[in-house]
Amino acid sequence: DEFLIECLSVGEIKKLRIGHNNKGSAPGWFLSKVIIDDLSVNRVYDFNCERWLAEDEEDGKTTVFLYPGLAIEESQGAGVPYVI
């Protein structure tokens, strides 16, 4: 599933806390990653997770802190083209 949440810019993001309250039937979920696109400064944050947030999986935690990988400045592009 993908979710889109719009909000005001909070400035530079150094870490992110994400989780759930473990309510409902089969509440656990596998979190691949969180991507934050800060349009006000043209910056994309990529928070890789690749783990379960579930009491009956892995370490049993339903909340985790994530730290961003390399932030990409959109204005510079995501890569450098080479001709070989």
Cα 63 vs. chain centroid, distance in angstroms? 13
Answer whether 51's CB lies under 8 Å from 31's CB: yes
List, in sequence order, every beta strand (DSSP E) within the chain: 16-19, 29-38, 43-53, 63-66, 72-73
pLDDT digits (tens, 9 = 90+) for 26-70: 999 999 999 998 888 889 999 999 999 999 998 999 999 999 985
Query: pLDDT tens across 2-22, in order?
Result: 888 888 888 999 999 999 999
Please state, in angstroms and rounded to a whole number, the distance separating the CA atoms of residues 47 and 71. 10
